[in-house]
Structure 1
């Protein structure tokens, strides 16, 4: 298994759908694919940008995206 160059970003307040552990979900983005991983039980879920767009609610708007690496 290759190690990701991207850091895991934990989602505060998220609960794992498999084990119900609070604050155990980490998000990584690699090759335009988002992967959610539970660090407690190993549950994973992936989502492509197309899937993310279709999951957005009709009147929902994005205010901005925070990139901590941007200067």
Structure 2
């Protein structure tokens, strides 16, 4: 068994996480659902508001997703 460059061959610092794969699956699914287009009217309204604020549509939508409220 060879160790990667820069590794001292000691034990891992963290215990392996048995639920890591499931959490990654849940995160990817939630990310996909969050960025799915909500509908033409909503997209146009968000785009207009983002332009009023001088932001891109993606930045404005990200703010909505992070804060849970409209700017």
Larger proportion of strand: 1
Q: Which has the larger radius of gyration?
A: 2
Instruction: Give the TM-score category using the shorter length.
Output: under 0.3
TM-score using structure 1 length: 0.24
TM-score using structure 2 length: 0.24
Q: Which has the higher contact order (CA 8 A, sep 6+)?
A: 1
Larger proportion of helix: 2
